[in-house]
Chains A and B, each alone.
Chain A
Amino acid sequence: MIKFNKVTKIYYPNMAVLQDISFEIKKGEFVSIVGKSGAGKTTLTRLILGLDKPSFGDVYFKDKNIQEISSSEMQEIRRSIGCIYQDYKLLPAKTVYENVSYIMEVEGKSYDEIKREVPKILDLVGLKDKMDNFPGELSGGERQRLAVARALVNHPKIVIADEPTGNLDPYNTYEVIYLLEKINKTGTTVILLTHNRDIVNKLAKRVVTLVAGKIIRDEEKGNFII
């Protein structure tokens, strides 16, 4: 589904964030990409979303080279991916409800469907009572849960979770991971970028380990070892 072929990313003037990365993520997989801060995890996400271009090599999404597709195709790819970021990337001028409904509106979903689905997903992440609040009025954990709701509302084919538990307490951390596992079981591909050892070890799924921009380990049922 997603393939990195000898990808190197160099930021100006000569900082190589990723070096000669090659790996493939298949449909329905749950992959944890682990590494210390600055190992290049977020850059991988940006390359998948077409927010950055590789300096060398190619990134493929469903056999299409991301560098060669039109902007409308790229927008379609982005719509098929649900992203959860550590810094949330919420829309501050929109309410909790509107942050989630915006994603459905982008997809062109009907108002009826939006009215039906948004409260459901907000209920799932425990934010139904805060539908009319703005992100600025939420705690860190609530914002993270809102980011999760937003990523999942469109039933995406892929979920990329970049440090999704960074701001959560242990209880909410396992709630989010449980949610990711659950949607993975329905066939959604999940890419989890984290440096949380406990989560990765407990998941016992595929682990890709990044150190200084290089893949040093790629194990089917791996552990967090750096």
Chain B
Amino acid sequence: MFSNSSRIIKFAFQDFSRNKGISIAAIFVLTVTILLVTGLFFLQGITNYLTSQIQDKIDITAYFKDGAQEQDILNVRDEILKMSPNIKNIEYISKDQALEIFNTKHQSDAVISRALQEVGGNPFLPSLNITTNGDTSQYASIANILQTADFSKLIDKVDYSQKKDTIEKVYSITSNISLFGIIIGIILIIVAILVVFNTIKLAIENSAEEISTMQVVGASDWFIRGPFIIQGIIYGVVAFIICFIISGLCALLLSPKIELIMPGFNIFSYFLNNWWIFILIQLGFGVGVGALSAFIVVKKHLKV
């Protein structure tokens, strides 16, 4: 058994090194397709970052009545946190903080500053600013909670109804982008698998006569099939190493440029944080598709 396995491995490496042209062609095709699949994963990271950036800009604000006590507002905040597990962030902004934020924002605008002086005092209301992890329905449910009798006596207004359309539109766009990405991703992965399968098929078809000779001399199916499957694995491993280096280098070199377009998103950090997923995708795709293609193609030739 051990001697058979070692012979199968020996044949695989022998064929791999002797059929250099075929091996290089197969590795090249596998490398290109693995890079395509890797590109999709990078793209998913970028899309996730962009959608989360857009979603982070969406919030609802509950404005409390002018006389509402800070402790009461903080109690409301705690109650909301207990009732809605999907809250990403809930921030209390006092009257004074609201004024300060306004002043900082409009410090260069003399007209607005004068208008504020005309009004006199602090016209801002204390508020709770809420963002969620989820979709539009979660904003609706928080708005409903805020409008219940216990809270409504403290609350002046909730700006959900004004923002509802915008929230729904943004979520519709982001979820459509995700769906579109998934569909395109699936199509491209199927195309990639078919391309690899056909390349391996061409490489093995070249040895069809050899396979039939091996059968005639009484070699077992695994003795014939083994070297081809291991060759498929070798193609996959070599292509993975090339792809891992290329994708790491690309991420490193493109990172400053991408950060200019998308501040806060470092593609090299994304690569480092997800290195094991990259290995899993590249190695899994390369080795899996390479070996499986070889298995299927040789099986076809072993029907006698």
Contact = CB atoms under 8 A, between A and B. Distances in A.
A91 interface: yes
B218 A50 contact: no
B59 to A, nearest CB: 67
Contact of B221 (A71, A94, A111): A71
B217 interface: yes
Contact of B3 (A49, A77, A89, A108): A108
Interface in B1-56: 3-4, 7, 14-15, 18-19
Interface string A68-107: 0001100111111101000001111110001000110111
A107 B220 CA distance: 10
B169 to A, nearest CB: 63
B3 A106 contact: no
Contacts of A78: 215-218
Q: What 5 A-B pairs come out closest when comparing CB atoms?
A: A78-B218, A79-B218, A89-B213, A106-B219, A75-B218
B218 A90 contact: no
B218 A77 contact: yes
B83 interface: no
Given A50-B304, A108-B3, A108-B4, A93 B18 contact: yes
B210 interface: yes
Nearest to A74: B218
A51 interface: yes
Interface centre among B7, B215, B218, B221, by most A CB within 10 Å? B218
Contact of A102 (B3, B209, B217, B221): B217
Given A75-B218, A92-B209, A93-B19, 13 more contacts: A50-B304, A51-B215, A76-B218, A91-B210, A91-B214, A92-B210, A93-B210, A103-B217, A105-B7, A106-B220, A106-B223, A108-B3, A110-B3
A103 B220 CA distance: 12
A106 B18 CA distance: 21
Interface in B196-245: 207, 209-210, 212-221, 223
Contacts of A92: 209-210
Please tell me the size bucket of the interface on A.
20 to 34
B19 A106 contact: no
Interface of A: 49-51, 71-72, 75-81, 83, 89-94, 98, 102-103, 105-108, 110-111, 150
A111 B210 CA distance: 23
B304 A51 contact: yes
Interface centre among B15, B219, B221, by most A CB within 10 Å? B219
B191 to A, nearest CB: 31
A90 B304 contact: no
B294 to A, nearest CB: 16
A89 B215 CA distance: 11
Interface centre among A51, A72, A106, by most B CB within 10 Å? A106
13 contacts: A49-B216, A71-B221, A78-B215, A78-B218, A91-B210, A91-B214, A93-B14, A93-B207, A94-B14, A102-B217, A102-B219, A103-B217, A106-B223
Nearest to B8: A105
B216 A83 contact: yes
A52 B19 CA distance: 31
Nearest to B7: A105
Nearest to B15: A93
A52 B98 CA distance: 89
B4 A83 contact: no
B214 to A, nearest CB: 7
Contacts of A150: 217
Contacts of A103: 217
B22 to A, nearest CB: 10
Contacts of A89: 209, 212-213, 216
A77 B217 CA distance: 9
A76 to B, nearest CB: 7
A66 to B, nearest CB: 12
Interface string B158-172: 000000000000000
Interface centre among B212, B223, B304, by most A CB within 10 Å? B304
Contacts of B207: 93
Contacts of B18: 93
A106 B207 CA distance: 18
A92 B18 CA distance: 11
Contacts of A50: 304
Contacts of B216: 49, 51, 78, 83, 89
Interface centre among A50, A94, A105, A107, by most B CB within 10 Å? A105
Contact of B217 (A71, A79, A93, A110): A79
B220 A72 contact: yes
Contacts of B3: 108, 110-111
Nearest to A103: B217
Nearest to A106: B219
